[in-house]
Chain A
Amino acid sequence: AQSVSQHNHHVILSEAASLELGCNYSYGGTVNLFWYVQYPGQHLQLLLKYFSGDPLVKGIKGFEAEFIKSKFSFNLRKPSVQWSDTAEYFCAVRGNQAGTALIFGKGTTLSVSS
């Protein structure tokens, strides 16, 4: 079955700490991978995406993610978090065919203290 697993339900960090959020997926075939962020009271926004090419992708606000095909993983990283990064983070996968929909993980809540 197609699924996305996010390892951490709630992560608590201090400002300037490094962040890594785990994401593993189960999906037959070629996939597109995404990280979305949902700030408190706001709608889902795209952080970054991977379709093909360089497995290390950079997104907005200093975030990056690495696609490791052999591990079916797409972990999100940021070297130094800020208080404003407090939000819900969702990993998602989509098949590489027109018409397929996003499959989301359950999300990771990140709380950053100043």
Chain B
Amino acid sequence: ETGVTQSPTHLIKTRGQQVTLRCSSQSGHNTVSWYQQALGQGPQFIFQYYREEENGRGNFPPRFSGLQFPNYSSELNVNALELDDSALYLCASRTGGGLTDTQYFGPGTRLTVL
């Protein structure tokens, strides 16, 4: 167990809709990152939050946005869903306080866009 939970486990949406995915991290983990893992691929970095501020972003369009809350929970929002957004979305957290901290991953949310 990593202490990182995600909800929901599975989700089906239609093209054009909006979706919110949630993550709950361990207490004290100030950094949370979100990744998209398409089938047969490695996880791709979407963005990262540190103490409620975005401090890193991968090559994803602005319709991917997020929030981090003081209670170590976070959200990933995706607007105007496209078919290619179908993937496993992973949340990962770490303390963020040092250079040797390890990232712990949640089980993921499987999003299917029809």
Contacts and interface: CB of A to CB of B under 8 A. Distances in A.
A43 B103 CA distance: 13
Given A44-B43, A105-B42, A107-B41, A99 B50 contact: yes
Contacts of B102: 46, 49
Interface of A: 4, 32, 36, 42-46, 49, 51, 90, 92, 96-107
Contact residue range for chain B?
Answer: 20 to 34
Interface stretch (B20-28, B66-74, B79-87, B104-112): B104-112
A20 B90 CA distance: 27
Interface of B: 2, 31, 33, 35, 40-45, 48, 50, 55-56, 58, 90, 92, 96, 98-100, 102-108
A101 B108 contact: no
A94 to B, nearest CB: 8
